[in-house]
Each structure stands twice: as structure tokens, then as C-alpha cells.
């Protein structure tokens, strides 16, 4: 068994956050817990080095598998405080501010320790590398340079010996190790996964996107209804004065229909006809705003909410611009979002096809939903 020594005692002053950066929450989970859970999933012992002011809050998130220790004034002191408690032959020192660590890379480091007493995760330099001395810029060979990441893994007795006897300042633990064991070869593992360090505010926004972005789903739908006499024209729940209305089993509100079907499509829940079959008498002349409310309730029950909606209505007549604001307000209330997140537009078909000849009205909707 190995130990993960996770350093989470820094202030994160450059982050611009009002709280310690390792307490920043994404999906209701603080940053430090992402690394903790990754190591625990691989059966590591976990020692978490924290600041005194964060100790009690952090303690509420962890169980008996995690040992908490208060850090020192510097990162080196914090690491040493943690190393004193390590009981396993090997220790993996990791920064809690790298929450996207991948299991596969931990396994590669473990494999490297079968042949080496130290191994480190690195990232290749992919951009043009320059050296600037304040006056001149020189090009450097990027293939000869690597960006060090964490975890950095060591034979415990060696890194602890170096840490106890160290009186200098080093950029990271691998530098400290090399200072004391200059003849040792270091296991070099090139990270094939993203493993950024969260330093500035934009880094936290990117992390949030990486974690939550996968929970966004797009929906799209197009629908067309025939215009006939002796039917009311209802669009987005608004009655539009006109001599004709849309033909359908329900009230044929083509706007509500495309929104509802786009919502269903966003979560792969089938089409509107599956949920509201047109041969079922209970849906005869149904108010489509109620249909839309039922569909959105289904979306919410799946743990999602609307992010934004864009609707286009295709109609030669009547002119719809005077009713657009009312339509947006109606839909915003039905979908429980601010009106600024609802876009409804209208255009003609330039007198072409059935729409242009005044025989039909169509609508198209594109929307985004997000897991909450």
C-alpha cells in the first residue's frame, strides 16, 4: 500500500476567491476532495495537510480513511509535517490544487517506482519556448524541456531524510530529492491527460467547465402545422387574432410543441407523439402550455434545468412582432427562467412553399439544459 500526501494548506491569494481555493466548490464538492477521492479509489492511505483555519471545515468532508495534519508556514514545512506520519514504503506528494488528476497516471507512477526510488509526472512543452534576460530573447529547444506536475512519488525514507535535513528553498519536491541524491535516475512519466494547477480565477472557471460541462445537453426540434378556418391561432400560449388557426389534435400551438420536443430530445426521452399520442382522447384540444409544463416537469425530475432557448417562427401572415414580448414572457414563466434567456423571433418564407402561400405555420427551437 502507498500513501498520498496531499498538500492543501496554501492560501491561494492569486485566485481572487473570497475563500481558500481548495474549498472552492464544483458540483457541491470542494476542490481538495477531487484528489482525495481519486487516491482513495486506488486504496491509498491519504494524509491531507491543511491550514489551521480550514481544519474544522475540511474535517467535515472526510472520513477515517483520511488523516488530517496542520501545515507549516511554508510548503516545505507542510510537506515535512505530513511526511512524519507516513507509514508506507512509498509516498505520492500531490497538490490539492490539481483536482483533475487521472487514475491512469497514478498507476504509471506506481509502476515506475518498481525500478526507481523517485518518479515524477511531467507535461511536454508544446509552445515555442523563449528565454528573456531583460534585454534579449533567445529561442530554446522545447523538446529538451518539461513542465513538472504532481504527484511526485518517492521512496518514503529517502524523501523524508531529505526533507528533515533541508535548509534551502526548492521549487518542488523532486528538486529537493535531486539535490540530496544527485546520482539517482528519476522516473519520468509524461502525462497524457489534463492536470492543470488552479492558480488564477480563470483556472477555477475552466475547472468548473470541465466538471460540469459534460452535464449540458442540447435539444432541437422543428414542427409545422396546417392553417385552417374555424380554429383559434395560438402561439406560445398567446391567442393571436387571425381568420385562421392551426390544425392539430391539441390546440396545435406549434411553438409550445417544438419547445417541448426539443426538451425531450435534449435528454433522449423520445418525441412528443410518444408522450402525448394524437389518438388519445384526453389530449383532444389540450392547452399546449400544460403539455409544455408536463414535459418540463419531466426534465426537472431528471435533475436538469433550462439554460437558454432560441425559437424561430415561420409565418407569412399574420405579422407576429407585436406579440413577441408576450410570447417570451409566457414561455419564461412556464420554464421558470428570466425572460432574457428566452429568444423568440419571427420571419416569413418569402411567399415560397406552403408557409409562404399562407397554408401553414412552422416553428423551430434550439435550447440548452444543464444538470443542477
pLDDT digit string (tens) for 38-65?
999 999 999 999 999 999 999 999 999 9
How many whole angstroms separate alpha carbon 146 and alpha carbon 197?
A: 15
Q: Give the highest mean pLDDT range of 16-30, 66-80, 192-206.
A: 66-80
Tell whether the model's pLDDT for residue 214 goes beyond 70: no
Each as own residue / partner, the long-range contacts of residues 79-85 (CB below 8 Å, 24 or more positions apart, any chain) are: 79/5, 79/7, 79/49, 79/163, 79/173, 80/163, 80/164, 81/49, 82/5, 82/7, 82/47, 82/49, 83/5, 83/156, 83/159, 83/160, 83/163, 84/160, 85/47
How many whole angstroms separate alpha carbon 77 and alpha carbon 72?
A: 5
Tell whether the model's pLDDT for residue 118 goes beyond 90: yes
What pLDDT was estimated at residue 272?
84
Residue with cell 474549498: 23
How many whole angstroms separate alpha carbon 271 and alpha carbon 338?
A: 26
Share of the chain above pLDDT 90, in %: 81
Higher pLDDT, 175 or 126: 175
In whole numbers, what is the pLDDT of the chain averaged over residues? 93
Sign of torsion over alpha carbons 32, 38, 40, 44: negative
Cell readout for 243 is: 381568420
Query: Is 52 buried (19+), middle (13-18) or exposed (0-12) by CB count in 10 A?
Result: exposed
136: number of Cβ within 10 Å: 8
Q: CA 97: distance to chain centroid? A: 16
Tell whether the model's pLDDT for residue 12 goes beyond 80: no
What pLDDT was estimated at residue 213?
67
The CATH architecture one would assign to domain 3-199 is Alpha-Beta Complex (3.90)
Q: What is the mean pLDDT of residues 116-120?
A: 98
Query: Is 341 buried (19+), middle (13-18) or exposed (0-12) by CB count in 10 A?
Result: middle
How many whole angstroms separate alpha carbon 72 and alpha carbon 51?
A: 8
* 3-class DSSP state of 51: coil
Higher pLDDT, 213 or 216: 216
115: number of Cβ within 10 Å: 9
How many whole angstroms separate alpha carbon 148 and alpha carbon 121?
A: 6
The CATH architecture one would assign to domain 215-371 is 2-Layer Sandwich (3.30)
How many whole angstroms separate alpha carbon 204 and alpha carbon 100?
A: 12
Share of the chain above pLDDT 70, in %: 99
Instruction: Please report which confidence band the pLDDT of residue 208 belongs to, taking 50, 70 and 90 as the band edges.
Output: confident
From residue 65, alpha-carbon distances to 31, 68, 133 in Å are 18, 10, 48
- List, by residue range, all CATH 3.30.1330.50 domains of the chain: 215-371
Tell whether the model's pLDDT for residue 285 goes beyond 80: no
What pLDDT was estimated at residue 162?
97
Q: What is the mean pLDDT of residues 319-326?
A: 96
CB 20 within 8 A of CB 54: yes
Sign of torsion over alpha carbons 5, 155, 183, 179: positive
Q: What is the mean pLDDT of residues 264-269?
A: 94
Amino acid at each position: 500500500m502507498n500513501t498520498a500526501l496531499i498538500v492543501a494548506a496554501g492560501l491561494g491569494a492569486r485566485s481572487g476567491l473570497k475563500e481558500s481555493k481548495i474549498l472552492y466548490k464544483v458540483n457541491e464538492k470542494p476542490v481538495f476532495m477531487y484528489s482525495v477521492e481519486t487516491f482513495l479509489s486506488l486504496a491509498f492511505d491519504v494524509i491531507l495537510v491543511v491550514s489551521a483555519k480550514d481544519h474544522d471545515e475540511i474535517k467535515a468532508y472526510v472520513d477515517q480513511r483520511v488523516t488530517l495534519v496542520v501545515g507549516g508556514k511554508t510548503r516545505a514545512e507542510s510537506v515535512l509535517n505530513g511526511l512524519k506520519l507516513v507509514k508506507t514504503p512509498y509516498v505520492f506528494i500531490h497538490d490539492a490544487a490539481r483536482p483533475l488528476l487521472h487514475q491512469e497516471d497514478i498507476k504509471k507512477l506506481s509502476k515506475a517506482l518498481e525500478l526507481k526510488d523517485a518518479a515524477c509526472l511531467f507535461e511536454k512543452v508544446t509552445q515555442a519556448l523563449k528565454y528573456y534576460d531583460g534585454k534579449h530573447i533567445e529561442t530554446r529547444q522545447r523538446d529538451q524541456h518539461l513542465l513538472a506536475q504532481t504527484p511526485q512519488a518517492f521512496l518514503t525514507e529517502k524523501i523524508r531524510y531529505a526533507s528533515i535535513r533541508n535548509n534551502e528553498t526548492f521549487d518542488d519536491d523532486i528538486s529537493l530529492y535531486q539535490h540530496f541524491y544527485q546520482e539517482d535516475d528519476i522516473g519520468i512519466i509524461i502525462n497524457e491527460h489534463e492536470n492543470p494547477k488552479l492558480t488564477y480565477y480563470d483556472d477555477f472557471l475552466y475547472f468548473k467547465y470541465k466538471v460540469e460541462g459534460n452535464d449540458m445537453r442540447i435539444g432541437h426540434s422543428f414542427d409545422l402545422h396546417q392553417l385552417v378556418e374555424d380554429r383559434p391561432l395560438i402561439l406560445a400560449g398567446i391567442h393571436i387574432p387571425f381568420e385562421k388557426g392551426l390544425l392539430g389534435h391539441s390546440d396545435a400551438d406549434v411553438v409550445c410543441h417544438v419547445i417541448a420536443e426539443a426538451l425531450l430530445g435534449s435528454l433522449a426521452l423520445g418525441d412528443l407523439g410518444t408522450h402525448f399520442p394524437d389518438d388519445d382522447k384526453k389530449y383532444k384540444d389540450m392547452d399546449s402550455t400544460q403539455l409544455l409544463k408536463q414535459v418540463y416537469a419531466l426534465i426537472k425530475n431528471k435533475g436538469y434545468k433550462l439554460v437558454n432557448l432560441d425559437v424561430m417562427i415561420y409565418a407569412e401572415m399574420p405579422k407576429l412582432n407585436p406579440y413577441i414580448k408576450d410570447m417570451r414572457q409566457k414561455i419564461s414563466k412556464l420554464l421558470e427562467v428570466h425572460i432574457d434567456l428566452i429568444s423568440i423571433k419571427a420571419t416569413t418564407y418569402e411567399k415560397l412553399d406552403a408557409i409562404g402561400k399562407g397554408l401553414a405555420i412552422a416553428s423551430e427551437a434550439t435550447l440548452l439544459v444543464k444538470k443542477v
